[in-house]
Structure 1
């Protein structure tokens, strides 16, 4: 597979060695930039498949840019460092570097290290997706349970009847259970209850109390 690589290095000899090794592996170097250049900007412009850096030792500025890249445009990142202590190594792993090689910049190693980085990156992204999905499921479950608690309080329903009522409301509105639960929480917040809107609160706040299936008697008067 032919990959597009963004090179980051301050030395022409390193750039030449990396480019020669990548060309031999049938990859394409889309740009060569310095370690103090805006990596995120060039990654956005060049759309590389991976980033490869060769530096004496990754400094705080470079690591900060790689961390920003990991947030905004996650990519496999390879770092070849001439020297490094345990601190920079731990920091590099923390900001999302997929492969970190100390005192090992050789043409024959470039392609295998890149392949390793691609594999590790894919594994990490899969774990991140699983984590995000688990967090989403937990958030949705909590949202539904909070909404059911509000319905039980307002209508005096049993657990089974509350779930059935929530399902009917979701079906009638053409929404999922988490979505209709968020609407209920938003309406409760508008009516002065103890359930503030969650992640979809801005949209949900436009729903009327009647649509959510309950009302609250105004205080006073």
Structure 2
């Protein structure tokens, strides 16, 4: 497993690097601050990101939220600050595990496994949500296209649906794609 370390504190994290290497992780070149995080993730393609911070700054949380949107990865944050608001903000920005009060090397491997499992679970939920949202958009477009056919060609709902299906089969397209073409054409023609 490839691990990217981000050290946003004055303390050295050589002990963390050694603990990761000892349990068999591939530790990538360290990132000094959160500002270069997105680029480092895109270039180095880590499996997990570990942040060592005193307290997550607003800039760091913004960088993590951007990372979560553009290149999601499991993120483990070790922090000295256990403020409830900061923890909620960090979790909202995509942090899979927020660990307060130090990082014991013996706890590292289980923490990373939990963070990766939580990230994977969230990814599946996010994918299901995306799929459901797409199905809803498809359904709305199909209904709108049926309405246009019913209105412009005096068709029944069943006939409009049958016409959409027939066109989709003839063109080798999905029903929703044919519906979107009809909607676009109707918008073009006014």
TM-score higher than 0.5:
yes
- Give the superposition deviation at 1:154: 1.4
- Measured on the aligned residues, the alpha-carbon RMSD in Å equals 1.3
Structure 1 consecutive aligned stretches of length 4 or more whose deviation exceeds 6 Å = none
- Matches of 2:91 and 2:60, distance apart in 1: 13
- Residues 101, 169 of structure 1: alpha-carbon distance in 2 compared, 3 angstrom cutoff: same
Contact 2:77 2:98 in 1 (8 A): yes
- Give the superposition deviation at 1:10: 3.8
1:3-152 to 2 correspondences below 5 Å: 3-11=1-9, 14-152=12-150
Contact 1:144 1:177 in 2 (8 A): yes
Contact 1:15 1:32 in 2 (8 A): no
- Give the superposition deviation at 1:29: 0.6
- Give the superposition deviation at 1:130: 0.3
- Give the superposition deviation at 1:12: 7.2
- Give the superposition deviation at 1:11: 4.9
Q: Would you say how many aligned residue pairs link Structure 1 and Structure 2?
A: 190
What is residue 177 of structure 1 aligned with on the other side? 175
Consecutive unaligned residues of structure 2, counting only runs of 5 or more, are none
What is residue 164 of structure 2 aligned with on the other side? 166
TM-score, normalising length from structure 2? Answer: 0.95
- Comparing 162-171 with 88-97, greater Cα deviation is found at 162-171
Q: Which one has the bigger helix percentage? A: 2
Larger radius of gyration: 1
TM-score, normalising length from structure 1? Answer: 0.82
- Could you say what secondary structure the match of 2:28 adopts? strand
- Residues 49, 122 of structure 1: alpha-carbon distance in 2 compared, 3 angstrom cutoff: same
Between 1 and 2, higher relative CO (CA 8 Å, sep ≥ 6) is seen in 2
